[in-house]
């Protein structure tokens, strides 16, 4: 039967991998897209005799395995899928760290990651330091003998600062470098190729890409670390269901096309915002659809936008608008990771860029 073995061909370019990774025609009926294995368990031929590692669906499920293979192909490592981005982050940190270990984190990071560290993991003996990772000397100074993990987010959320991954790896003194690659996606940045040990995703965002499911992923380089992550995945049990895996896998197949369209939309929006009345500090890393800017009437603009839906999250085909300080970043309020109250964050979708610009023009024109 023709078709790839799902692992991809090393010579394939990214777009080809995105379309084919993890997918092999079903051997029974030849269906080009494999069936969704909506099952909790697997029949055994005799006691302890089952296909590959499929004995119980928390441990493994073929629909999840296909997605995990694809995630690994796209990031260039060994992938594991989780029920949310937070579950993926929790799994990686708990797989790698033990009580007494220290973690260096960005001062400007996803609020949920900060909350996990500050409110949960510190109760189990981890310590952390927040540092501005665009200041490489500060990163070097924050790494101590007990530092086990240097956590990186780039571009950062919501300030969209870009951090130089190879420079961080150089200053990590052998600590495990994990990169939250949710905003960049492997289309724009592949952390493992840049020397990091792990890439993490909220696949809820660009990888799934359609705002229809919540999920997470960890991709690591080292097979021993991969085994530890899989051990935690099974032991803690924050696994995604088969249908969610199917949705994310379908999303991956158009990732390269969507990321190009998101960037084109963001470029048009940024072109407008840079000259718009009352707008300052327009930020866009030059790729992806994430844009932020400041305006004294941030809350009013978010309320008046119509095509941009007022909602948390990002990375879907439809455009979203939010005010981080009041919405997604409440958990960092009052901490060193706090964000300005007049900041607006946009997730530019793949609509016609002109329509997005017109919507923002009207929302900003309505400011008092």
Query: For the CA atoms of 104, 109, 111, 116, what is the dihedral angle to 10 degrees?
Result: -20
Q: Of 78, 344, 69, 18, whose CA–CA distance to 230 is shortest?
A: 78
Residue 322 interacting with ligand PLP (CB under 6 A): no
Is 54 known to be catalytic? no
Report, in Å, the least distance between residue 337 CB and ligand PLP.
13
Judged by CB under 6 A, the chain residues 30 through 89 that form the site for ligand PLP are: 84-86
* Residue 210, CB-side half-sphere exposure with 13 Å CA sphere: 13
**Residues in contact with ligand PLP, total (CB under 6 A)?**
16
Q: Of 194, 138, 126, whose CA–CA distance to 171 is shortest?
A: 138
3-state secondary structure of 177: strand
Is 110 known to be catalytic? yes
Q: Which of these ranges, 96-104, 169-177, 197-205, 254-262, lies near ligand PLP under the rule CB under 6 A?
A: 197-205
Q: Please, what's the b/e burial string for 277-291 (b: 16 or more CB within 10 A of its CB; e: otherwise)?
A: eebeebbbbebbbbb
Q: Which of 54, 64, 101, 110 is catalytic?
A: 110
Identify the residue among 189, 204, 211, 288 touching ligand PLP (CB under 6 A).
204
Identify the residue among 134, 147, 202, 292 touching ligand PLP (CB under 6 A).
202
Residue 216 interacting with ligand PLP (CB under 6 A): yes
DSSP string, 30-88: --SSPPP---SB---SBTTB-STT-SBTTT--HHHHHHHHHHHHHHTSEEEEESSHHHH
Q: Which of these ranges, 109-117, 134-142, 288-296, 357-365, lies near ligand PLP under the rule CB under 6 A?
A: 109-117
Is 205 known to be catalytic? yes
Give 21 or 214: the residue with its C-beta nearer to ligand PLP: 214
Report, in Å, the least distance between residue 315 CB and ligand PLP.
8
Helices (H), 162-254: 165-171, 185-188, 223-236, 242-252
Point out the residue whose Cβ comes nearest to ligand PLP.
Answer: 85
Judged by CB under 6 A, the chain residues 86 through 105 that form the site for ligand PLP are: 86
Is 119 known to be catalytic? no
290: DSSP letter? E
Q: Which of these ranges, 37-45, 119-127, 179-187, 282-290, lies near ligand PLP under the rule CB under 6 A?
A: 179-187
Q: 332, 339 in Cβ contact below 8 A?
A: yes
Identify the residue among 112, 155, 208, 242 touching ligand PLP (CB under 6 A).
112
Q: Of 238, 231, 195, whose CA–CA distance to 217 is shortest?
A: 238
Residue 155 interacting with ligand PLP (CB under 6 A): no
Identify the residue among 205, 262, 295, 329 touching ligand PLP (CB under 6 A).
205
Look at the block and give the residue holding tokens 């099952």. Answer: 39
* Tokens coding 138: 């500060």
Q: Which of 17, 171, 205, 230 is catalytic?
A: 205
Residue 157 interacting with ligand PLP (CB under 6 A): yes
Give 192 or 279: the residue with its C-beta nearer to ligand PLP: 192
Q: Which residues bind ligand PLP (CB under 6 A)?
A: 84-86, 110, 112-113, 153, 157, 180, 182-183, 202, 204-205, 214, 216
Catalytic residue IDs: 58, 110, 180, 205
């Amino acid at each position: 039967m023709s078709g790839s073995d799902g692992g991809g061909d090393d010579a394939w370019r990214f777009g080809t991998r995105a379309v084919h990774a993890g997918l092999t025609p079903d051997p029974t009926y030849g269906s080009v897209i494999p069936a969704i294995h909506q099952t909790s368990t697997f029949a055994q031929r005799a006691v302890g005799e089952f296909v590959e590692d499929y004995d119980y669906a928390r441990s493994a499920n073929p629909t999840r395995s296909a997605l995990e293979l694809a995630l690994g192909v796209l990031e260039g490592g060994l992938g594991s899928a989780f029920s949310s981005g937070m579950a993926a982050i929790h799994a990686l940190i708990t797989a790698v760290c033990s009580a007494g270990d220290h973690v260096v984190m960005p001062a400007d990071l996803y609020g949920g990651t900060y909350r996990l560290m500050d409110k949960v993991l510190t109760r189990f003996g981890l310590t952390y330091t927040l540092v501005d990772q665009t200041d490489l000397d500060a990163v070097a100074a924050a790494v101590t003998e007990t530092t086990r993990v240097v956590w990186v987010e780039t571009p950062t959320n919501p300030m969209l600062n870009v951090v130089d991954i190879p420079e961080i790896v150089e200053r990590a003194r052998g600590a495990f470098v994990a990169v939250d690659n949710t905003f960049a996606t492997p289309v724009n940045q592949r952390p493992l190729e840049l020397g990091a040990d792990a890439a993490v995703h909220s696949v809820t965002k660009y990888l799934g890409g359609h705002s229809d499911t919540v999920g997470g992923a960890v991709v690591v380089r080292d097979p021993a670390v991969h085994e530890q992550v899989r051990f935690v995945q099974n032991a803690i049990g924050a696994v995604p269901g088969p249908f969610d895996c199917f949705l994310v896998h379908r999303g991956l197949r158009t990732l390269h096309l969507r990321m190009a369209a998101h960037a084109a939309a963001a470029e048009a929006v940024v072109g407008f915002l840079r000259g718009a009345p009352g707008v300052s500090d327009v930020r866009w890393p030059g790729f992806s659809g994430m844009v932020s800017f400041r305006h004294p009437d941030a809350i009013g603009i978010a309320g008046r936008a119509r095509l941009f839906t007022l909602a948390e999250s990002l990375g879907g085909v439809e455009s979203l608008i939010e005010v981080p300080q009041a919405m997604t970043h409440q958990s960092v309020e009052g901490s060193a990771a706090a964000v300005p109250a007049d900041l607006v964050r946009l997730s530019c979708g793949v609509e016609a860029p002109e329509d997005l610009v017109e919507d923002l023009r009207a929302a900003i024109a309505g400011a008092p």
